[in-house]
Amino acid sequence: MKYSKKPPLVLSDREYTILQQMANSRTLAHHLVTRATLILRLVAGLPKEAIAQEVRLTRKMIYVWYDRWLAAQDTLSGVTEEDDTAFRQVIEEILADRPRPGAPPTFTAEHVCDIMAFACKKPEDLGLPFTTWTPSELARTAVNQGIVSSISPASVGRFLKSGGFATP
């Protein structure tokens, strides 16, 4: 069975410089450093198995990033007029994770903010018969006030925890 040989990756001097900066960065996210490194190694013509070992990814993932970079060549050639910061941002977007499948968030940031605002108020000031908020009472109040149609006390507890609130 014959496999079609993929074309070699070729970088412009500008792309090479930016990828080299990204690969040597100490402050950039690790996944971007890894992906910049693997693109540079592919351009250098190193075997994919050696690259996979160096960057600690599978060969399949090396091919995924090879294909993604190859597909992005038109995008990169279209932004040659941009300054280096904008050009680097385009490269970072190419090397970034794509959105993953899954259910969309149930609650918007506005919902969470409204619930957190209630948590900051005293229940007595709202005419409620208790003195301390619990996740159950906050969930019930959020539904009664029309903030959300339904919410579990566990979800409210996660919101409180992420905001630094301690639940009773």
Instruction: Extract the tokens encoding 28.
Output: 């950039």
What local confidence, expressed as pLDDT, does residue 118 receive?
A: 85
Instruction: Please indicate, yes or no, whether residues 78 and 142 belong to a single structural domain of this protein.
Output: no
What number is the average pLDDT over the span 58-87? 86
List the domain range (segments joined by +) for residue 21. Answer: 13-95
Residues in contact with 86: Cβ distance below 8 Å, sequence separation at least 6, in sequence order: 79
Number of domains comprising the chain: 2
Instruction: Please indicate, yes or no, whether residues 90 and 124 belong to a single structural domain of this protein.
Output: no
Instruction: Please indicate, yes or no, whether residues 140 and 68 belong to a single structural domain of this protein.
Output: no
What local confidence, expressed as pLDDT, does residue 152 receive?
A: 95
Burial of residue 115 (CB within 10 Å: 0-12, 13-18, 19+) is buried
Instruction: Please indicate, yes or no, whether residues 132 and 66 belong to a single structural domain of this protein.
Output: no
| Alpha-carbon gap, residue 38 to 61, rounded angstroms | 10
What local confidence, expressed as pLDDT, does residue 165 receive?
A: 64
Q: Is the pTM of this model over 0.75?
A: no
Is pLDDT of 133 > 60?
yes
Name the helix (H) or strand (E) containing 119.
helix 109-120
Q: What is the pLDDT of residues 28-68, one digit of tens each?
A: 999 999 999 999 999 999 999 999 999 999 999 999 999 99
What local confidence, expressed as pLDDT, does residue 167 receive?
A: 55
Instruction: Please indicate, yes or no, whether residues 91 and 114 belong to a single structural domain of this protein.
Output: no
Q: Read off the pLDDT band of 92 (50, 70, 90).
A: very high
